Structure formats: structure tokens, C-alpha cells
Structure 1
Amino acid sequence: MQSLPVIGGVDRAVHDLYRFWVAPEAANDPDITVLLYDDAVARETGKTTPIDRALLANALREVELAGARAVGIDMIFIQPSDDESVLIDRLKQMQIPVYMAYADPESDRAAYWDGSVADDASEYQIDFWKRIGNPKVQRVSPAIGVDETGIARRWPSLKPGGKPTLAAALGASEKQSTNYAGAIAFSRLTAAETEIGLQIATDMFPTLPIDVVSDPDLAEFSRPLLKDRLVLIGADTFNSDQLSTPVTRYTDQTTIAGVAVHAHMLRQVLDRNFPPPPPWWAILVLALVLAFAAAATATIERRPVTLLLIIFVQTVALGLLPIILHYAGYDILYLPIFGLLSAWLTVFLIVGYAVRSRTSTERAFARGALGKFLPENVALEILEKPEKLKLEGEERPLFMLFTDLEGFTRFSHARPPQETARILNRYLEEMSQVILDHAGTIDKFVGDAIVAFWGAPLKEEKDGRNSVACALALHKTAERLRAELTVGEEKLGRTRIGLHFGQATVGNFGGERRIQYTAMGDDMNIAARLEGANKYLCTDILVSEAVREQAPEHSYRPMGAICLSGVATALRVFEPVDDDRNAYTSDLTDAMIEIETRNSGAGQHLRDLAAKHPEDMAIGALIDRIDQLTLEKPYELGGK
């Protein structure tokens, strides 16, 4: 019955709600610690894919020195890097067990790397493991049981004789390494631990940034959280695996990092908590009992109040059944809760109709009553145009904006969760309102970052002007919030903004149970990289030349040409300015024209401006790269 799309989807949603209800509350875990390579670490090292392997090597050294029992690494190594030898040397020296994710070339690789580079990735991974040559370092499967809706509910089904899961290997559970496919036993952080009553799905596992652990000067502070523990290391960046779970669907977290799911699985292994499903014959007997109860109820000739009371009692009994089975030691993952309810309702309606139908009028009335189970407009739309249910998108020219709050992860680590939540909510609320006030479409929030665009779902002539005006207004709002939300001596980081105009595919994307109106494409990536380029150009806002051409109403300062990672051609970039900083924009423009046309004495005008305005760090940054400002010789940001 769960194979039916509608019933199966609702069954999973109902199952998730029950899993949330029965998920035990847990305080800080005494056995497991998680080390994260998060966005703050990626920005600090300038490396995301591949990660900074020297940093990982240093962290492994400190974890071993701290006396950890074993280490699990939820990262696969399928492409070369300039610091790979440092990590390999460290792995060769490890004396404690290390279990590293390995994408099986036969069964796993399609899930972990692009098919176009499969052969190269597979060859490199094999060579990488050959170079380690340490029996203490073992391969494990990184698999998690994620269904078609993108929700991690169950343990993965592994092929016979394959590598054990990361959690099974760390927890030394040979019995459950490959043959358990039941539900993952998620827990919730005890409400008292959250201090603000938020239901949180990960913080019961002590979590540390990997760069803190890898630094010998700071490592001593983290050693109490590493000694005699099982340590999981994984990524929690914007482009890493972020998974929804039965618990996060009904908590204040939408998703958690894949390594956090492995942590829950490891806790389950340590507890040897592998409940069996209810026997198939028991479910069959239950279905027959429900069918009999539904038929008996439909034939009762009682007052409506009495009939409703009987139905209510049966509904409550069915609703309590999964909870009873759970506490009786059974896994309710594959219990067709909604299917059983649908069967009860179907039998009730059919029998009731057969008993009471005497005339054609009564039959018509019954059909009308059945039709009330679906909204009329929805039902008619689906029946007349079933293609409306398809997920699809269209290509459109968009103005794409990305923002990021610099250093917020580190900022949040220094204060209680409730204060972090208050600050972030205030920041996102006011920044979002600015975007909406400028007729923008908010795509998504990624932590403290915001993605928005103009040009969809409705296209307006003022989209270009509105998008640039919004970027300027966002900067002003962010600077005001920096002053208002400053706590103690630590100030909120500056907000970097990137804006680009180009083609993107926009529409509804997702799965059968969850969709999102969003945009995607190469030009979206350019906008994201422009946001990151602010860090190196000492600017707050960067827009592409395409934006300047589409929105000539604004004033812009030329910031030279740059070459972004993953972009084949160099781009001229500009910083939009308002009246406060427009006084010498024309002088800066003239100076940049001199450099591009290679006039005699080119560059001196720019140096004079820098000397005259020493507070303008963006002009100072132009001086630092004065020989890399043209399209012929751009400033390379490929590795940054």
C-alpha cells in the first residue's frame, strides 16, 4: 500500500510526525563528538572542494593526541589537491582506528560524483587508498537511507559483502553493518539545554569547528571533548549534503548536515537499538479487524452523536497504535498508518453506501458526500489537467543577488543559542523586508545568507534599477544593524553583496512531497562568487558589467577585471555607490580608463586618489593589484 504515491507520501509524513513525538530527549552525548568543516572554515582557508587537507591532517593529529577512541571521516577523496601528501602521511601514522568514507566504484559512485568524471575520480580514489597503507585506516560506506523526497529516515540497504556503514564500523556492530534497513533512531536536545525551548536535532552532540581543534594553541581547550570519545568529522558548508529528517521537519531546524545524521546512527549502534518491524501477519490481522470495525460501524443505526463518538474512539485507538508498537519494541517505519486509516474509511464508506442506498437520489447524495473529501477546485484541476502536477522550470533573464554575513559562525559560537537566534532573526527579518520593498523575490535563506532575484515570477521594466537600489539599501540596513546588534566588544560582521544579470532556470523544483520555487544555473553561481569576491577587493557590493548596462540610472565605481572560479572569461566588476561616496567616482573612472588604454603615466592618477582617500580600502586594493585590472590581465580569484 505504501507503494501508492499519495498514500505512501502521506504515510511517510504521518510516520515522521510520530517519530518526532516518540523521539527521546537527550542531553549532551557522552560518547560522540562532531568536528565540522563549516562555511566559516571554508572562508578562512579559501577551500571548499577539495577541502584543506592539511587542516584535516592537523586535526587528526590533535584528536589522536587527545586520546580519542576512534575517528570517522564523512568525506570522500576523489580529486587531487596540492596538500594531499600531508593528509596521507598523517593517515599512515595514525595509531587509533580511522574509518573513512569510500564511494564504491560499482554501487556508490553515481551518488557521490558526476558521471562525466567517474573514471578519473575512481582511479584517483583507488590510488589515494593505496598510498595510505595503514591497516588502522579502513574503508566504510557513507550511505544514508534517503528516500525520493530527500528525507533521511532509514538505514541504507547495502549490497551483501559490501563495506559497513560509517556508524556500524565506529560502533563495532558487525551484526548490523549491512542487514538492518529500519528507521534511524533520531533524538532531540533536551529543551532545558536549549535555554530557549527550541527543539533542536543535532546539538546533543558536542560540536567543534575543525580549525579550532587543528590549532595546537587552541587544541588543549577541546581535548576534554575528544578524550575517550568517538569523533566524527564532516562538512557543513553550503554545497555539502544537507538532509531533512523526521525530527527536523517538525522542529526549528529544516535540515542538518549529513555527518550529524551519521552521529545519530552511531548513537543507535552504541545503544544496540535495532527494533524489528511488526510481523506481516500482525499487520494483516490488524487490517482485517479495522475492516470489520468499519463495516460494523457503518451499519449502526444510531443518532449522529453516538455514531461520531464510536468513530472518534476507533480513530483514537488507531492513532495510539503506532506509539504502543514503538514502546513495545517495534520499528514503525513500514507501518502503513495512513493506509490502514484509508482502508477503514473506504470500507466504512462502501458499506455505508451499500446499506443506505435505496434510490438513485440517495446514490447521488453519497457520491456528492465522497466528493467532499477533496477541495472541489483542486480535484477539478487535477482531473482536467493532470500535467499541472509536473515539476518544471523555464529559462529567464534574472537579476540575481546573494548576501552573506561575514564571520557570523564564529560570532555565534561566542554566545548562547537564544541570543544567536534573536540576532539572526532580527537581521534576516529586516534584510528580507528591504528585498520585498524593492519588489524582489526571496529564493531562500542559507544560514545567515540570503538569495533573491528579480524577473520572476513577474518581469518588470524596473527590475534592474530595483535590484541595484536594493543592494545599496541592504548595505545601509546591514551597517545599521551592525551598530544596533553589537554585543560587548565583538561586532557583527559586515554584509557582502553580489549582484549579476544573466540567464537562469526558474520554477518549481523538488520532489513529490515538497517543492520550492527557486532559480538555478551558471549565472546564479557567478552572482554567488561576486559576493565572495568582495572579501578580496575590499568592497561591500560587487555587480557585474551586465548589471551596470541594464541599470544605468545608478552610479558605479569600476573595480577592474577579475577571473572567478569556474568562469571561463574574465569579468569587469563595479561597485554601485550612493551620494555619500559619489564625489570622486568620476575621478576613479578616469584613472581606470587611463590604465585600460595604457596612457603614459597610467596608474599615477589612481595612486594620487589612494593617497587623497586613505580611508577608501577599495582604492587601496586597486593599487595592490594595479597590474591585474584589465580583461587582458585580470585579477585571478580562481583559488580563493
Structure 2
Amino acid sequence: MAGSGEGASLAARILAFGPVFRKTLKQIGATRLVVTAIFLILGLAFARYSWNVILAKDAERALFDVRLLLASPHVETDPRIAMVTFTEDTLRLTGRRSPLDRSMLAKGLLALDRMKPKAIGIDILIDQPTPEDQILIDAFRTMKTPTYLGFASHATNTTFMTLDQENFLRDFLRQTKPGNVHPTSIRLLADEDGVMRSWPNQPPELPPLMANSLTGGYHQFRSYQGSIRYRLPKFEDRPVFDKFPIEIIANPDLIEAFRPQIEGRYIMIGGDIPDVDQFITPASRIRKGETTIGLEIHATLLAQMLDQVMPRKIPGWGLWLIALSVITLGALTAVSNMKIWKLGLLLLVQAGAIAAVPFIWQFHGIDTQGLPVFGWLIGWVFAYSAVGTAARGIGSEQRNFAQSALGKYLPGDIAKDIMKNPERLQLHGEKREIYALFSDLEGFTKLSHQIEPEMVAFLLNKYLDVLSETVLEHGGTIDKFVGDAIVAFWGAPISRPDDCERAVRCAVAMYEAGEQFRREAPEGVPPIGVTRVGVHFGEAIVGNFGGEGRIQYTALGDSMNTASRLEGANKYLKTKTLVSDTVVERSTLSCFRPVGRIAVSGRSTPMEVFEPVFDFSEARVQQFTDIFRRYDAGDEGALAEFEKMAAENPDDKALANLIERLREVGPGGYSALDK
């Protein structure tokens, strides 16, 4: 039963996702969706096949060369392999450049044979006749050391090997019988940019590669075409491979001196002549101007084979998975809602990971040649740009709508701030100190029964529009409309240092806006009542309240109720705007005159209330306050001063009302309002 319930819940969630998905597609739009999909597909293809794209493959090769160079081990001189070379000095000594002097080669082979090397490989093609051929043939026939003579075919090397040259080489090899001489492939293949990065393929019509021939084993390398493992010298004065000029090796007087350097080692013979058989390697490509002789490339292949180093390649499905992950990462990053510094940090981490992971793999024995690192970066940019553009298009429409909606209830600067920092608007209730405002239009309910419904709607909408605009102009948050009443507050969702002044000025401005509304009422409409406003400071629970699908941002608590009581108290005190003592205590304004103490429903203790009078001078407000304080302290003679003031200002109904109430309650008393 539990299992069926969980399944039903999962199915419900999947079904619920459908409308959201369809809504999102609708917001994206067909054109934008197609363009986004095209860019994602292009990004995915680039992230997988950038090694096959013009210009991009140059970047990929450069990145691989850096990885290979940095991961290349630094080693002492290899004790297993030595090279014997024809140099420029050899050519001057023999007076021959091409073909090389074969009598010198013969002398060198005979001397080497006496030093008992493990095997000898010759990276020289015997492809045309010379007068010294018989001398070399005789030397080959006497060799006891397994010797492998370089071989190439016209079919596999049409550029440098003609069919006549191949036939001559084959005939020469036959003449060396019954010696210990065998053909070996000296095939090396550079990439399109001329750099030697990979083991050459070994066509079946060719004999084994020189490295395979010399060792007589390691058959797994017969089909290996991975990257060459280059090594670097640990010390500048100690090369990876010993190298000896052939004219010194051929000197019979030096055989015993060189025996320790030759005995038991693989010996490779070839040319070390400038501009002949020179190759660019990843290391020499980075270190401009350096090249490596083909003989040393063969020695490097042999050392890699002896060490059985075959870096693993990431399979094709793995490359697809990585490419898809990179595209997904770029798309998810584009729709992530983060602050700019967090997004910047995330971008740096992702870029660093994309750049660093291939280096880590290279250092841990994974062949990263063919790894589309540059393609990952470009693919990520494609995905980020495509999805980000689509998301910004949707987001722009949503933000415009949301900001427009928020702007009906919040001041413009707060609405913009919430759009930038939505976390500022808590999705739950929180206790905040706010300035609560409640306004009401006197007699509107009675008025609505005297005029047509259409006129009622017109007047109410116009009145609420004027007063809500006044609230927003003063930075207030509109809580709700209750008929013709407006509930607003300051201090949430964002508080300002001058919220108190804003709330007080807004209360007075709302009364004045109501008076102008009365004066501009359409002809034939009965007289409209005054707008009364109450403001109180206190704690409230502010946040989003409601059901899962319908919520309202509002404030709850005694502060809102007290503001409502203050608005109602205006009717009894003959005032238009009332604020509580908690407001006056926090205000920097000096425009409040005390109008006594009142006890209202819902509060256990009386509170002192004040009327904002911006048309009073500061001295006049101070005089009024001093008289009230003296009477409140027991100086009943101060009441006469109020009476004199009232006589001088017969239109000040609030003052007349205050005098009447003071007579009733006496000094320190309060008026109980049944509201």
C-alpha cells in the first residue's frame, strides 16, 4: 500500500509539472525555442568534435602540447638505449653526404658487434647503390648481434620511396643472408601541423616498427596509436639518451673504452644532420627553434615500450557524456539566480575545472590527446549564451509584469530592489517594527446608496487611485483596500531611516488629496465626506499569508488595529489626522500638537495622541504643547489660555473639542472612546 501511495504521489508530481513545462515553452516562444535548440546542438557538437574543426583543432593541439610537456617525466640518462650517429663531422671526415658512407657504417657495425649490444636498429635506408655496398654486405653477414635495417615501401611512402628504390632495398637485404639482419619499419607520421604526437600506424605489409623489432615482444604495441610519452632530461648536461659519433665507435682502438657504454644496451644508428630527418615535437613546438632527430623519436618509442606505458584514452561514449555534461552545466548556470559575485565565482570555478581536469588526467596516465578542452569551453559558452538569452527574454517579460504588479502596492525603489534581491521579501511571517496607516472616507457607504452604481465605481476607483499614488509617492507599502479605506505601512519589506517622517507626511497628504477629490467631484454628486487618517508605530507580523496558490503580503497585529482606532478617533476629536505618541517619539518633525489622552477598544491603557499641523509655526506648536503640559501637570489656569486661543481661532474645532474634554476629565485624565 505504501508503495502504491508513493507511486501515486510521484505520478501526481509529474502530471503537475506538465502545465508548468507548457507555460515555460509558451513564454519562450517558437522562434526563440528553435534558435536556442540550434545553439545547444551546435555547442554540443563543438564540445565533442572540436578536434575536427578548422582553427579549433589548432587550439586543441596547443593545449595538449602544454599538458604533455608539463606532464613529461624528468629522468636521468636511460641506461638501456644509446644512439650512434652520423654527424656533420662524420660527413666532412668521409667526404660523403648522400648517400652516407656505407664503409663507415660497416666499420661501426663490426665494432659494435664486438661490444655485445642487445640489439641494433639502423634508421638508414639503403635504397641506391654505392661503391661500398659489398663492404657493408660482408659486415652484415658476419653480425652476431640481432640487427634490424630500416625498411620502407613505395605503397606506404610514395613521397620518398620509389618502386625502384624499394626493389633495390629488398635485393640488398637478400644479399645479407645468411647474416643476422632483418628488415624493420622506420615509419613515423607527424600530424597535419608537422608535430610528432602519436605512434604511427603499422600497415600489415610492413615489418614491425623498429621498437617492436628490437625487443621481439610487446605485441600490444603493434596496433597502438596513442600519444608518444616524451621524457625530459633531469639535468641539462645529461641527455635522456647517450649519443656517440659513429667515427669514434668505429675506431678499433676505442672498443674496450666504449664497451661499458654499449654492452647489453639497445643501439640505434642514424643521422644527426641539420635539416635532414628532423621532427617537431610538442616540447620543441613550445620551445621555438628546437627539433628532434627521427632516431631519437624511435628511441623514445622504444623506451615507452620497455616501460609498457600505454596511456588510456577516454572512450567515445565518455566524450559524449562529458560534452553533454558541459552543455548542461552551461545551461544550468545561465538560469541560476545568483548575485553577481557568486555567479562570477561560479564561472571561475567552472572555467578552472574545465582547464584543470585535463591536466590532472594527463598527470595520472590518461591520454588527453583528442580531448576537446577548447571545445568544452566554446560549447559551454554556446549553452550559457543560448539559454541565458532565452531566460533573460522570459525573465524580462516576467520582471516587467512583476514590477508593474509590485508597483501597484509598493513604491518604485522598493519594487526594483525586490526584483533585484527577491530574498528581501520573506516568504514567511516575520516580526517587524512598522508605521501603520489607516485611512477612511467619511460617509461614502451612505453616499453609495444615493447615486448610480456606475458612478459609485467611478468615484471609488478614482479616489483609491489618488490616495494609493500618494502612499507610493511617500514610500509606503499598500497592504489592502477595504471598501474606501486604505491600509498601508512603512518599515517592511524594506525599512528606511526616515520611514516615520514619510508616514506622517503621507497621512497629511492623503487628507489634502481627499479634500481636492471632494472639490473636484462631478456635478450632481451629493457632498463627499472628509478623509480621516490614523498612524501608529509598533510591532506587527509581516509576510506572505494565504493558501498555497493564493497569497497576500500583509501585516497583522495590534499596530494595525490601533491605527484603525486612531483613524476613527478623528471623528470624536474633530481632527483630520491623528498619530500616536509612539510615532511622535521617533519623529524628527516638530509639527505635532497634543490633543489629549484617549482609551480605545482593544487597548488596556490610554495613549496620548497628536495632530500633525504643518501650517503651525514651530513656536506656535511649542506654545500649544507647553500650555497642555502645564494643565496636565495640574495647572488648571492653563485652560484659560486654551480658551483665549480658541476665541482667536474660532474655526479650530479640534481645539474646542480638546477644551471640552479637558474640562470633563481634568488634569492627567483621558477620554474613553466607544469605537
Q: Please state which band the TM-score falls in when normalised by the shorter chain.
A: 0.5 to 0.7
Offset at residue 175 of structure 1 (A): 1.5
Contact 1:88-1:132 at 8 Å conserved across structures: yes
Alignment-mate amino acid for residue 254 of structure 2: L
Contact 2:67-2:362 at 8 Å conserved across structures: no
Contact 1:69-1:227 at 8 Å conserved across structures: yes
Aligned: 1:21 with 2:54: no
1:237-386 equivalences in 2 (<5 Å): 237-251=273-287, 254-357=290-393
User: Residue 163 of structure 2: which of 119, 124, 127 is its match?
Assistant: 119
Contact 1:165-1:177 at 8 Å conserved across structures: no
The RMSD of aligned alpha carbons is 2.1
Indicate the residue corresponding to 1:78 in structure 2.
127
DSSP 3-state at the match of 1:104: coil
Alignment-mate amino acid for residue 216 of structure 2: A
Indicate the residue corresponding to 2:61 in structure 1.
12
Contact 2:140-2:176 at 8 Å conserved across structures: yes
Alignment-mate amino acid for residue 146 of structure 2: P
Aligned: 1:209 with 2:209: no
Aligned: 1:139 with 2:183: yes
Distance 1:300 1:182, change over 3 A: same
Contact 1:69-1:229 at 8 Å conserved across structures: yes
1:398-436 Cα offsets, whole Å, 9 max, x none, are xxxxxxxxxxxxxxxxxxxxxxxxxxxxxxxxxxxxxxx
For 2:77 and 2:373, locate their aligned partners in 1 and report how far apart those are by CA, in whole Å.
33
Offset at residue 67 of structure 1 (A): 1.4
Offset at residue 161 of structure 1 (A): 5.3
For 1:317 and 1:230, locate their aligned partners in 2 and report how far apart those are by CA, in whole Å.
43
Alignment-mate amino acid for residue 385 of structure 2: L
For 1:160 and 1:280, locate their aligned partners in 2 and report how far apart those are by CA, in whole Å.
26
Return 5+ residue gaps in structure 2 as ranges.
1-48, 397-675
Offset at residue 354 of structure 1 (A): 2.4
For 1:134 and 1:75, locate their aligned partners in 2 and report how far apart those are by CA, in whole Å.
21
For 2:272 and 2:137, locate their aligned partners in 1 and report how far apart those are by CA, in whole Å.
23
Offset at residue 357 of structure 1 (A): 4.4
Alignment-mate amino acid for residue 78 of structure 1: D
Offset at residue 177 of structure 1 (A): 4.5
Indicate the residue corresponding to 1:173 in structure 2.
217
For 2:273 and 2:359, locate their aligned partners in 1 and report how far apart those are by CA, in whole Å.
36
For 1:166 and 1:21, locate their aligned partners in 2 and report how far apart those are by CA, in whole Å.
27
TM-score (normalised: structure 1): 0.52
Offset at residue 134 of structure 1 (A): 3.5
Return 5+ residue gaps in structure 1 as ranges.
361-640
Contact 1:35-1:232 at 8 Å conserved across structures: yes
Distance 1:124 1:17, change over 3 A: same
Indicate the residue corresponding to 1:163 in structure 2.
207
For 2:89 and 2:127, locate their aligned partners in 1 and report how far apart those are by CA, in whole Å.
23
Offset at residue 123 of structure 1 (A): 2.4
Alignment-mate amino acid for residue 312 of structure 1: L
Aligned: 1:67 with 2:116: yes
DSSP 3-state at the match of 1:290: helix
Indicate the residue corresponding to 2:570 in structure 1.
none
DSSP 3-state at the match of 2:282: coil
For 2:341 and 2:112, locate their aligned partners in 1 and report how far apart those are by CA, in whole Å.
66
Offset at residue 276 of structure 1 (A): 2.6
For 1:102 and 1:346, locate their aligned partners in 2 and report how far apart those are by CA, in whole Å.
49
For 1:64 and 1:352, locate their aligned partners in 2 and report how far apart those are by CA, in whole Å.
71
For 2:204 and 2:166, locate their aligned partners in 1 and report how far apart those are by CA, in whole Å.
21
Indicate the residue corresponding to 2:151 in structure 1.
102
Contact 1:103-1:112 at 8 Å conserved across structures: no
For 2:317 and 2:395, locate their aligned partners in 1 and report how far apart those are by CA, in whole Å.
40
For 2:275 and 2:326, locate their aligned partners in 1 and report how far apart those are by CA, in whole Å.
47
User: Residue 194 of structure 1: which of 229, 232, 236 is its match?
Assistant: 236
For 1:3 and 1:172, locate their aligned partners in 2 and report how far apart those are by CA, in whole Å.
36
Q: Which has the higher helix share?
A: 2
User: Residue 142 of structure 2: which of 93, 100, 112 is its match?
Assistant: 93
DSSP 3-state at the match of 1:194: coil
Offset at residue 183 of structure 1 (A): 0.5
DSSP 3-state at the match of 1:285: helix
DSSP 3-state at the match of 2:367: coil
DSSP 3-state at the match of 2:156: coil
Contact 1:160-1:178 at 8 Å conserved across structures: no
Indicate the residue corresponding to 1:513 in structure 2.
none
Offset at residue 332 of structure 1 (A): 1.5
1:601-620 equivalences in 2 (<5 Å): none
